[in-house]
Every structure is written in structure tokens, then in C-alpha cells.
Amino acid sequence: MEAAMGLMRRIPPKHSEAALTALLSLLPHHSADLLSQVDQPLQVLCDVDSGKQFILCEYNRDADSYRSPWSNKYHPPLDDGLYPSQELRKLEVDANDVFMVYLDQSINRYYEGGTSSVYIWEHEDEGFIACFLIKKDGSRTADGRRGYLEEGSWEAIHVIEVVPLEEATARYCLTSSVMLSLTTNDESSGNFNLSGSIRRQMNMDLPVAAGHLCNMGRMIEEMESKLRYSLDQVYFGKTKEMVCTLRPPSEPVQTRLLELISKRRP
């Protein structure tokens, strides 16, 4: 299993779907572990009742059907599918509404456009697990406003395990994965593709007075900012640094820089 995860860390991100399929066929006994630990590009379906899109993942799947968070129905229909309890379903409905506002185009917040879904279900004792998903397509043909990207997508999966503690607090364990892919294609720079995924964890004990939704939302917002910063600075910075190490920029640039630096010294 460790070897499988090692392979997933090295395979080019654009091939991760093919890689996972291959590993699942080779290691069928580990399929549960693989599916939960390896993040895959997110797919969407359209809810038959409301016409709204919802995101597919392991957490809303039962057999080959997927449950819509809007209508609570399985697509395609299932006779004996699993459903969350009434209480959790209510939390799920609220979470989906709120999360959609977090993403909503009309208030131009973090995302311009995109699809979101939240799934909640029971977990040990009185706890529950909530899964928040975001899928955003930034390519020229989809939601991207400025049209620089030939192809681009940001997908985030946040899984929070909530366990009630004593003293009206609860422990929230968040595991977040962000998958990102950017492609530009033009005359001067040819085909340029940067893609990647990173995973982080965050644990917090918070009072439940503010409500589970509020606590989870705050954690997710904080986590997403951290992840975006990481992706930007560390990962994209690091790959660029590598390119410049392979073939340093030509001398005139360097001499100019040196001149600037020496001028600044007192």
C-alpha cells in the first residue's frame, strides 16, 4: 500500500486517474484504502429535480449510484440506498446552502462560479463526518473570466471528522486536498502545463455554541487560504526555481541585477 502511494506521488498529475484505475486492478483488496486516500478529479451530475449540479465522490456513492445533496435522491435510483439521519440531513441541507453562498457568483467571493456539494453522515458514537467539495473550471470555455487558461481546474475536497467532547466542545479533524491544473498554449511558449495536488491536515477543538457549520466553515476557509498560498509560493515557486537552475537566465539579466543590488548598498 505504501508502494502504491509512492507511485501516486511520482506519476504526472494529469495521469492520476489512469494510475489509480491501474492500481485498483492490481490491488483489489486495498481498494477501500486507495479510494479514500487517493484523490481523483471530480465529476458532476445533474440533479433531476432541481437541475442543479452536484459533485460525485466516494462519500455520496452507494453501489453505482450517487446521492444528490439537493433532492436527497440517488442517481440512478436505488431501492435500498444509504441515507443520513433526519438530523444530519438537516445539517447537510444547511451546509449545502451556506457553502453555495460561499461560492456564489453573485457575491464574487473566493470563487467566480463553480460547483459545490456537501455530504454528511453518521460516524462512531455521536460523531459525524462531513465532506465539502468544490469544483471550479477556469478554462477559456468555462467559468474562467479572463481567458488566459487554455485549460484549468481547481478542485478541493475537505473531509471533517467531528467528535463531540465534554464541556460542549467538539473535536474537528480536517483533511484537505486540493488538485490544481493549469495549461497555457501559445506561439512563444508552446505548451505549458503545471498541475499538482497537495494534502494537509488540521485539528481543532471548538465550542459548539457557534454551531457545527460555523466551526467547520471557518476551518475550511482558513485551510483553503493556506493551501493556495502553499501552492503558489512553494510549489510553483519551486518548479520555477528548478527551471532556472537547469538553465540560468542569460548574463545580461544577471549583470543588470548585480548592478541594481550594488547601487542599493549604502
Q: Taking CB under 8 A as the criterion, which residues in 106-125 touch other proteins?
A: 106-112
Q: Would you say 125 or 260 has its CB closer to other proteins?
A: 260
Pick the binder of other proteins from 43, 200, 207, 259 (CB under 8 A): 200
Residue 240 in the binding site for other proteins (CB under 8 A): yes
Nearest to other proteins of 2, 124 (CB atom): 2
Q: Which is nearer to other proteins, 65 or 171 (CB)?
A: 65
Shortest distance in whole angstroms from residue 97 CB to other proteins: 5
Binding to other proteins in span 62-101, by CB under 8 A: 63-64, 90, 93-94, 97-98, 100-101
Residue 202, strand partner residues: 174
Q: How far apart are CA 103 and CA 162, in angstroms?
A: 23
Residue 202 in contact with other proteins, rule: CB under 8 A: no
CA 172 to chain CA mean position, Å: 18
Per CB under 8 A, the list member of 46, 165, 214, 257 interacting with other proteins is: 214
Cα 21 to Cα 17, 63, 236, 245: the distances in Å are 6, 17, 28, 35
- Compare residues 146 and 264 and give the one whose CB is closer to other proteins: 146
Under the binding rule (CB under 8 A), the answer on residue 10 touching other proteins is yes
**Closest distance between other proteins and the C-beta of residue 240, in Å?**
4
Of the residues 60, 115, 116, 153, which one makes contact with other proteins according to CB under 8 A: 153
- 12 touches other proteins (CB under 8 A): yes
Residue with cell 479533524: 173
Residues 20-49 within binding reach of other proteins (CB under 8 A): 22-23, 25-28, 31
> Could you tell me the maximum CA-CA distance found in the chain, to the nearest angstrom?
78
- The residue within the footprint of other proteins, chosen from 85, 141, 225, 255 (CB under 8 A), is 225
Give CA torsion, residues 227, 232, 236, 241, to 10 deg. Answer: -120
Minimum distance, C-beta of residue 264 to other proteins, in the bound complex (Å) = 22
CA distance 200 to 222: 12
| Contact pick of 125, 190, 261, 266 for other proteins (by CB under 8 A) | 190
Choice between 24 and 45, CB closer to other proteins: 24
Q: Is 74 exposed, middle or buried (0-12, 13-18, 19+ CB in 10 A)?
A: buried
CA distances, 100 to each of 95, 109, 145, 235, 252 (Å):
8, 11, 19, 29, 51
- In order of 16, 58, 193, the CA distances from 32 in angstroms are 17, 10, 31
Q: CB-wise, 19 or 125, nearer to other proteins?
A: 19
Give the DSSP H/E element, type plus range, for residue 186: strand 169-186
- Contact call for residue 180 and other proteins (CB under 8 A): yes
Question: Hey, what amino acid is at 180?
Answer: L
Q: Which stretch binds other proteins (CB under 8 A): 41-49, 65-73, 150-158, 167-175?
A: 150-158
Tell me how far apart the alpha carbons of residues 157 and 174 are, in angstroms, rounded to a whole number. Answer: 10
